[in-house]
């Protein structure tokens, strides 16, 4: 099983917005769809370090590991780069430094803030469920492909 880490739901409570990325034309999965900052855990790397690293690599935002809170788990039976399934640990933070930008233009077409009450329709399913669950104080876990 592959461990992925949704690098963070960056939630600006005061402005009622979150940071999302749009997958670019070269994406192997979900081209043009929106998603949370996410990336693969490296061997020997704590999941909090993965979240911090991936958030910075993709958006330029800096967050401290102690500012992360686990808010959702996604367990999928299979994925594009994970034929044996994957587990995504979804974190949230309300504390960061920097302004979001597209630091991986070969992977993403854009990075932007979205109002939490008007999230995009074309959202990667697992990420959408995790974000909506967190915002509604709803389910803390999603299962995909196990039927």
List Cβ neighbours of 144 (8 Å cut-off, separation of 6 or more).
74, 75, 76, 77, 125, 126
- Phi, psi of 122, rounded to the nearest 5 degrees: -85, 70
What domains lie within the chain, and their CATH numbers? 2-144 (3.90.79.10)
Residue 87: what pLDDT?
86
What is residue 4's predicted lDDT score, i.e. its pLDDT?
65
- What pLDDT is recorded for position 2? 65
pLDDT value, residue 147: 67
pTM of this prediction?
A: 0.89
> pLDDT value at position 109?
96
Give the per-residue pLDDT at 125.
Answer: 85
Residues with Cβ within 8 Å of residue 107, at least 6 apart in sequence: 23, 24, 26, 27, 58
Phi and psi torsions of 91, nearest 5°: -105, 160
Q: In Å, how far from its chain's centre is CA 27? A: 15
pLDDT value, residue 15: 96
Helix (H) or strand (E) holding 88: strand 86-93
User: Could you list the mean pLDDT of each consecutive 10-residue stretch along the chain, which spans 147 residues?
Assistant: 71 96 86 91 92 96 96 79 77 96 95 96 89 90 78
pLDDT, residue 83, reads 61
């Amino acid at each position: 099983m592959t461990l992925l880490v949704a690098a963070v739901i960056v939630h600006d409570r005061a402005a009622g917005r979150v940071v999302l990325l749009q997958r670019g034309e070269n994406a192997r999965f979900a081209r043009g769809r929106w998603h949370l900052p996410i990336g693969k855990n490296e061997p020997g790397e704590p999941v909090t370090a993965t979240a911090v690293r991936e958030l910075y690599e993709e958006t330029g935002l800096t967050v401290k590991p102690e500012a992360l809170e686990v808010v959702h788990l996604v367990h999928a039976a299979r994925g594009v780069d994970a034929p044996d399934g994957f587990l995504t640990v979804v974190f949230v933070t309300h504390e960061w430094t920097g302004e979001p930008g597209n630091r991986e233009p070969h992977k993403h077409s854009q990075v932007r803030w979205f109002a939490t009450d008007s999230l995009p329709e074309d959202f990667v399913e697992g990420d959408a469920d995790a974000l909506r669950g967190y915002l509604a104080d709803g389910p803390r876990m999603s299962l995909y492909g196990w039927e």
